[in-house]
A and B are shown apart, each in its own frame.
Chain A
Amino acid sequence: MSTQIQEKAKVGAKELTALMTMFVATNAFLSYPRYVTRTGLEAAWIEPLLSGAITLLVFLCVDSVIRRRFLGMDILEIAKESFGAPIAGLLAVLFAGWFLANTASVMRQFSENVITTVLPSSPILVIGLLFIAVVWYIAYTGLEGIARASFILMPILLIGTVGLSLATINWWHPLLLLPVWGNGPLQVLVGSFRYSSVFANVLLLSVIYPHAHDPNALRSVGVKSIIWSSLLLSLFIATFHMVFPAGESWKMSFSLYQLARMIDVGRFFQRLESIFVFLWVTSAVIRMALSLWAAAYFLGSAFRWPSFRPALPALAMLAFAASLMPANVNQVVDLDDMYLASWGWVVVFALPLMIVAFARRPKRRVSREWS
């Protein structure tokens, strides 16, 4: 099916690892710390680790089935081969809708964050238009362009999270992380499962399979990116809770910014939040570009477009308009929590698992260079 799409990029393992890590770790800049703090309180830092473990398990299941039975096929090709074009089309629309809604949610949250932190007088229309223009351009370069950009920008993400966490070391109070199990083990487990959809690696990697330069390295890409991103998220949330008590911090909408404001390491190393905001925005642009590309790729594959690129302006505009539909950012966070974050596991875990579990072995063998 996706052979219709002419842009068959070949992306290296390092670039894909950077891309997947960045896609997930960017959640530290969004409402994810707030969600997990509400469910786990002091134990919120454990939730990304548990979610990562769940994701790893699902990824290894999907990966092993694809390797054994559907060599060189992506998840949509498998669905089309086994369930027919109409069902594959329906699944593609669902996946694309989820990615578009995700792009819209991230765009609105970041636009509001930029306005409240560094550009208070700028209209949201201007910020959003700039965002969408950059996101469209990066998505236009295709998977290869996005992956290479994310590999180059990876140090920015590391400075934006690890550097920030270390710069607040003089505010750390490790006792704020007690009791270890916070709201209780059951709540922590429920929260880990509920918000595990931030790890969209399973779905994304199952699309990227035919694009990998070395498909045999994709298992290591998946494992490494899941481990790295869950460690980054956990480290950031632990730092956040060592600075702000969990009971209060779940009300904060832009946790990273609040943490950046606390930096005070000597006379010349304080109030650095404006620098960090631009680092976070750079990471967010990569994330939105990947989700926009994924939406366009799913639709292009399902409806046999000759290329996904001509549809990018309309899809970018759709995401932009959808991002401005809610009245305010609180409504966006509520909608994101209620639907995208809480039920995202159905799209990113359950559907790929069901597709590979119930799919029939293809009649024709897809010839690709898989060892």
Chain B
Amino acid sequence: MLKFVASLVVPVGVFVYTVSFARSMERKGQVAGAVSAYAIGSLAFILTCMVLWRMFM
């Protein structure tokens, strides 16, 4: 469990960074850009969590 949590540091960082990118576009009124960035960030995070879960748990 500890290994799994430790391995999540990078994915969480990338997710937070992508979400902030999406929010910056949202503030500028670029809805399509923001939605696509949210989708890519979430997809990458979920897939990485799945892979790491399978690897460490």
Contacts and interface: CB of A to CB of B under 8 A. Distances in A.
B51 A324 contact: yes
B25 A318 contact: no
B37 A305 contact: yes
A310 B17 contact: yes
Given A320-B48, A321-B48, A314 B32 contact: no
B14 A325 contact: no
A227 interface: no
Interface in A287-333: 299, 302-306, 310-311, 313-315, 317-318, 320-322, 324-325
B48 A311 contact: no
A251 to B, nearest CB: 29
Contact of A318 (B30, B35, B47): B47
Interface residues of B, number: 26
A159 interface: no
Contacts of A311: 18, 21, 37, 40
Contacts of A322: 47
Nearest to A85: B32
B32 to A, nearest CB: 5
A313 B17 contact: yes
Interface residues of A, number: 21
Interface in A62-88: none
A303 B50 contact: no
B14 to A, nearest CB: 4
A306 B37 contact: no
A207 to B, nearest CB: 18
B1 interface: no
A302 B36 CA distance: 10
A313 B32 contact: no
A158 interface: no
Interface in B23-57: 25, 28, 30, 32-33, 35-37, 40-41, 43-45, 47-48, 50-51, 55
Contact of A299 (B40, B47, B50): B40
A366 B14 CA distance: 37
Nearest to A313: B14
A302 B30 CA distance: 12
B19 to A, nearest CB: 9
A248 B39 CA distance: 45
Contacts of A317: 10-11, 14, 44-45, 48
A299 B36 contact: yes
Contacts of A314: 14-15, 17-18, 37, 40-41, 44-45
Nearest to B54: A324
B42 to A, nearest CB: 9
A303 B48 contact: no
A50 to B, nearest CB: 37
A321 B40 contact: no
A134 interface: no
A56 B26 CA distance: 43
23 contacts: A125-B55, A299-B36, A299-B40, A303-B30, A304-B33, A305-B30, A305-B36, A305-B37, A306-B25, A306-B28, A310-B18, A310-B21, A311-B18, A311-B21, A313-B14, A313-B18, A314-B17, A314-B37, A317-B48, A320-B48, A321-B48, A325-B47, A325-B51
Interface of A: 89, 125, 129, 299, 302-306, 310-311, 313-315, 317-318, 320-322, 324-325
